[in-house]
Amino acid sequence: MRWGMARPGPGSDDGWFRLGSLEVTTTLLVVGLAIVSFIEWAFEGSFGPLQTNLWLDPDAVMSGKVWTLLTWPIAYPGGIGLFDIIALVILWYFGTEIEGLLGRKRMAWFLGLITAGLGLLWVAVVELSSLYGQLSSVNQIELMVLLVFIAEYPGRRFFFNIPGWVLGLVFIAVTVLGYVGARDWLLLLNFALGLVLTAIIARSMGLMSEWRGVPALRIRRTPKPKRQRRVSSGPTVVQGPWQPPQGPPVSRDQAALDALLDKISASGMDSLTDQEREQLMVLRDRLRRR
């Protein structure tokens, strides 16, 4: 199946709120906060007080600024460049696709766990070595989200009909060779551990089901108790032809999509076969175009 850069539609879950006709999903909220942070930087100037309280400084974390473990992706203490804008676009696009599978709440956990995990890894590397540096911008989160999407759909075609798994290997190889060439062994270790951590989080959230070698942390969710219907003791209403007509019937595509989403909700993404996963993407794309 060929894949193009069309704008993704809403996922299987509603957004957190609406701004006019715009559905604000988890991914869009993160991208929006990064844009707001950049606008704030324009008024505050480089390395102002607000930005320096958003980025992740390992020494500051050890002194009590633990909130920066979650705020560093939206920190731009030195401003924003072209590659930062590209990273935001990539995060918006592929993050929206992943959120279509997870829903807004699980996507928030997904991004939150990756952000905090990468932040803790950076603190550990810096504190256990002679390195010094801060962590900021959404670029690392964007790369991890992109690699998770490629791992989920390795056969999807990108630009020039290149399979996703080829681009994934290129991204990883370029990053690794850059660290090797600079002899940044600790940064290479940090990158490798970040890949492993992201894969475990993704697998635990129901993604990357074909990657059997990646461990998954199973979290049992307590099912919500069903509400009992109250039985009315009043007179029985006899149904007849005078009742108002029912709504339009559900299309076959919508019924098939609902069945797949019910299966995901009950048993997770791991329960879908390869054919059902492909059918899920086809049905979502087809219904969006209507």
Which CATH number fits the domain that encloses residue 177? 1.20.1540
Inter-CA distances, 108 with 26, 105, 147, 201, 290, Å: 6, 5, 18, 12, 29
- For the chain, the straight-line distance linking the first and the last C-alpha, in angstroms and rounded, comes to 20
| Domain annotation covers residue 234 | no
Q: For the residues of 131-179, what is the DSSP string, one character each? A: ----B-SSHHHHHHHHHHHHHHSTT-B-GGG-BHHHHHHHHHHHHHHHH
So what's the pLDDT on residue 11?
41
Q: Is the pLDDT of residue 29 over 60?
A: yes
Residue-wise pLDDT tens digits, 16-26:
888 888 888 99
H or E element that contains 106: helix 104-127
pLDDT of residue 26: 93
> Based on the domain organization, do 205 and 264 belong to the same domain?
no
What integer best gives the mean pLDDT of the chain?
A: 80
Over residues 115-155, the pLDDT tens digits come to 999 999 999 888 887 777 788 889 899 999 999 999 988 88
- Domain end call among 221, 238, 267: 221
Same domain, 89 and 214: yes
**How many CB atoms neighbour CB 236 within 10 A?**
6
Residue 239 has pLDDT above 70, yes or no: no
Exposed / middle / buried, residue 243 (Cβ in 10 Å: 0-12, 13-18, 19+): exposed
Q: Which two tokens stand for residue 212?
A: 């059997």
Residue with the larger pLDDT of the pair 123 and 263: 123
* DSSP-assigned letter for residue 18: E
CB 107 within 8 A of CB 25: yes
| Per-residue confidence band for 229, with pLDDT thresholds at 50, 70 and 90 | low
On whether the pTM is more than 0.95, the answer is no
pLDDT in tens, 190-208: 889 999 999 999 998 888 8
| Mean pLDDT along residues 230-257 | 59
70 and 25 within one domain: yes
Q: Average pLDDT of 242-266?
A: 68
**Mean pLDDT, to the nearest integer, of 82-111?**
91
Residues 209, 282 within the same domain: no
- Examine residue 239 and state whether it is found in any structural domain, yes or no: no
> Given this model, what pLDDT does residue 28 score?
93
With bands split at pLDDT 50, 70 and 90, how would you rate the model's confidence at 52? confident
Q: What is the dihedral of CA 176, 179, 182, 184, to 10 degrees?
A: -140
At 244 the pLDDT is: 54
Cα 28 from Cα 15, distance rounded (Å): 9
Provide the domain limits for residue 278: 253-290
Angle in degrees, CA 150, 156, 159, rounded to 5: 95
Q: What percentage of residues in the chain have a pLDDT greater than 90?
A: 29
In a domain, 247, yes or no: no
DSSP H or E segment with residue 84: helix 82-102
Q: What is the pLDDT of residue 113?
A: 94
**Structural domain includes residue 235:** no
Residues 87 and 146 placed together within one structural domain of the fold: yes
Confidence of residue 30 (pLDDT cuts 50, 70, 90): very high
pLDDT of residue 236: 55
Q: What is d(CA 165, CA 184) in angstroms, rounded to the nearest whole number? A: 26
- Give the total number of structural domains in the chain: 2
Q: Within a domain: residue 242?
A: no
Please report, for residues 15, 109, 187, the alpha-carbon distance to residue 26 in angstroms, rounded to integers and kept in the order given.
Answer: 7, 10, 29
